[in-house]
Amino acid sequence: MAHLQLQKVGKSYGTVEVIPGIDFEINSGEFLVLVGPSGSGKSTLLKMIAGLEETTSGKIRVDGEDITHLDPSARDLAMVFQSYALYPHMTVKDNMSFALRMRGEDPTEIDRRVKDAVTMLDLGGLENRKPGQLSGGQRQRVAMGRCVVRNPKLFLFDEPLSNLDAKLRAQTRIEIRRLHERLNATSIFVTHDQVEAMTMADRIALLKDGKLQQIGSPQDLYLRPNNSFVATFIGTPE
């Protein structure tokens, strides 16, 4: 069974329909890259999956269970944003453990999970620093660490690399894929960068004007584009 299923998922803001109705499924363990031009509805779709935007129509299921109108905090997923929104007055360790402490988890268990995440994200030695004493790449890893400690099944990334320079972006792409494999996670990674999509994805879903143009492996979209928009976006040679 698919881990995540979208059935005719639509969104309107007032009378403006930005997503008429999208269908797709993601298998457990899959890394799906959601790509499309600015304004095509990528963030809106992720926010509906996370419960940060109300879904206007259709159904969202996780492992078969209808989560369309479930509270965001009741969803077993984590979202990584472009702006890290770390707490500036808290240390790395406290930023990472904050959500678990709020939930009243056992302190020993919190400690163990933070230690694991610190190792996994190569943040050893930086545990007691504050965000202002870290580089952009390190702050990005702390933001991911905050998600990792919650041990979610589904990861949603909304253009998390846009604030990084080219070299760090290339390196972080690899780190995110490695994290995905290690955690046995299912991931949706949003970008407007076709190179990022081609190099990271198991499958690519290409959006335009709130409509799914094609979903398939990078090879599928490259070799067998559904229409000229897909061909141009992916860069199929004439």
Give the Cβ contact number of residue 1 at 10 Å. 9
Stretch of 32-40, 60-68, 90-98, 100-108 lying at the interface with ligand ADP (CB under 6 A): 32-40
How many Cα atoms sit within 13 Å of 64 on the Cβ side? 1
Candidate list 13, 69, 101, 128; residue touching ligand ADP; CB under 6 A: 13
Decide if 78 contacts 145 (C-beta within 8 A): no
Closer residue to ligand ADP, CB minimum distance, 41 or 145: 41
Closer residue to Mg ion, CB minimum distance, 5 or 43: 43
Q: Choose the contact partner of 13 out of ligand ADP, Mg ion, none; CB within 5 to 8 A by kind.
A: ligand ADP
Hey, which bits of the chain come out as E strands?
A: 4-13, 16-26, 31-35, 57-62, 65-66, 77-80, 154-158, 186-191, 203-208, 211-216
| Shortest distance in whole angstroms from residue 52 CB to ligand ADP | 11
| Shortest distance in whole angstroms from residue 33 CB to ligand ADP | 13
Measured CA to CA, the distance from residue 39 to residue 190 in angstroms comes to 12
Tell me the three-class secondary structure of 135-181, residue by residue.
Answer: CHHHHHHHHHHHHHCCCCCEEEEECCCCCCCHHHHHHHHHHHHHHHH
Q: Which residues of 105-142 are buried (b: 16+ CB within 10 A; e: fewer)?
A: eeeeebeebbeebbebbebeebeeebbeebeebbbbbb
Stretch of 36-44, 162-170, 198-206, 224-232 lying at the interface with ligand ADP (CB under 6 A): 36-44
Closer residue to ligand ADP, CB minimum distance, 29 or 39: 39
Closer residue to Mg ion, CB minimum distance, 43 or 214: 43
Strands 203-208 and 31-35: parallel
Q: Is 18 in the site for ligand ADP (CB under 6 A)?
A: yes
Stretch of 37-45, 87-95, 163-171, 175-183 lying at the interface with ligand ADP (CB under 6 A): 37-45
Q: Is residue 5 classed as helix, strand or coil in its secondary structure?
A: strand
- List the interface residues with ligand ADP, window 38-97 (CB under 6 A): 38-44
Closer residue to Mg ion, CB minimum distance, 43 or 95: 43
Candidate list 40, 43, 95, 172; residue touching Mg ion; CB under 5 A: 43
Q: Is 160 in the site for ligand ADP (CB under 6 A)?
A: no
- With CB under 6 A as the rule, give the number of residues binding ligand ADP: 10
- The residue ranges that bind ligand ADP (CB under 6 A) are 13, 18, 36, 38-44
- The residue ranges that bind Mg ion (CB under 5 A) are 43
